[in-house]
Amino acid sequence: MKCIVTGAAGFIGSHLCEELLRRGHRVTGLDAFIPYYPQVVKHRNLIDLLRQPNLRFYRVDLRTDAIDDLLTDAEVIFHLAAMPGLMQSWMDLEGYWTCNVLGTQKLLESVHRAGIKLQRFVLASTSSVYGRMASPSWPPNTCAEPMPRRIRFRS
């Protein structure tokens, strides 16, 4: 099976790529290396993966780069590319919106343009959807409750 993994150089994405390859799938990994945390961390996540013959890795930004050709023959897309972090999201609303919402929209538009028939599209969200309820120990049935954005104008 051909799988696309966005956010492939991140912690979860790199481990997902590793498992998919171990199971014999062909994987196309995509990552923009957005400077949310040091690039050396993402490079370290990729060291062993890049030696795998069934992995193709591309440094692309879903918001701006053309990716239609990279999606050819894809059967499953695991969309993990996002900027995490609840508190930081309120300090960099534009960055979070463009990475998490616009990036997803552009990816879906590319799937449509490429005309591929996916078996699955798996979208991973961030803890930001839990708002004030976000906690390392929240129960799995916690409802999403994003925090309202308070805009303060300076005179």
**Residue that wins the pLDDT comparison between 38 and 56:** 56
pLDDT of residue 154 exceeding 50, the answer is no
| Amino acid found at 121 | F
In sign, the C-alpha dihedral spanning 12, 13, 19, 20 is: positive
The angle subtended at Cα 30 by Cα 27 and Cα 36, nearest 5°, is 140
Phi, psi at 124, each rounded to 5°: -95, 135
Distance CA(110)–CA(27), nearest Å, equals 18
Stretch 89-96: mean pLDDT: 77
| Amino acid found at 40 | V
Q: Is 22 helix (H, G, I), strand (E, B) or coil?
A: helix
Instruction: Compute the mean pLDDT over every residue in the chain, rounded to the nearest whole number.
Output: 85
Torsion, CA 40, CA 43, CA 44, CA 47, rounded to 10: -150
pTM of the model: 0.82
Write out the two tokens for 19: 């498992």
pLDDT of residue 78 exceeding 80, the answer is yes
**Residue that wins the pLDDT comparison between 2 and 129:** 2
Stretch 83-101: mean pLDDT: 78
- pLDDT one-digit tens code per residue, 16-36: 999 999 999 999 999 999 887
β-strand partners of 6: 30, 79
Q: Does domain 2-133 have CATH number 3.40.50.720?
A: yes
Distance CA(118)–CA(23), nearest Å, equals 19
- pLDDT one-digit tens code per residue, 102-137: 999 999 999 999 999 889 999 987 665 665 555 556
Distance CA(120)–CA(118), nearest Å, equals 5
**Residue that wins the pLDDT comparison between 13 and 129:** 13
pLDDT of residue 92 exceeding 60, the answer is yes
